[in-house]
Amino acid sequence: MDNLSKLAFIAAEVLLKNESEKNIALILSNKASSIDTDRKHQNAIENGFASPAIFVYTLPNICLGEISIRHQLYSENAFFVFDEIKPDILFDYSENLIKEGKAKKSLCGWVDFDNGKYDAFLYIVANSGTFVHSISEITRLY
């Protein structure tokens, strides 16, 4: 597993370890896409040996697959690349999926890994919970 997937996997594990719901949408974002793995893949190409084990992780959404496999989720998912976290998009997308019945809950947030620096902020959206799901609350918590 690449570093981005490891980060997303571990962060999701904290929130999903006791979760029984399987219809949980995954909506993640970051600013670097899969650049950390892309560099490793480029280096492998330049040295004459491109590894499929590295190549598969040159897509940032692979971390969504790793989380889905671990938690047996068969749900909607999306991975967005932005310059910075976009609470409005995370809010709108997750609210829409739940409202339309495409998901019971959503695991949303930001997972970024580049050059050994990482940032992870994940949260679960449901019809009821501790915090009100709003753009201002996402901004405050991040």
For the chain, the structural domain boundaries read 3-141
DSSP codes, the chain: --HHHHHHHHHHHHHHTT-----EEEEEEESSTTHHHHHHHHHHHHTT---HHHHTTSSTTHHHHHHHHHHT----EEEEE-SS--HHHHHHHHHHHHHTTS-SEEEEEEEEEETTEEEEEEEEE-SS-SS---HHHHHHH-
pTM for the complete prediction?
0.92
> Mean pLDDT over all residues of the chain?
95
Q: Write the pLDDT tens digit of every residue in 72-113.
A: 999 999 999 999 999 999 999 999 999 999 999 999 999 999
CATH number for region 3-141? 3.40.47.10
Q: Write the pLDDT tens digit of every residue in 118-137.
A: 999 999 999 988 889 999 99
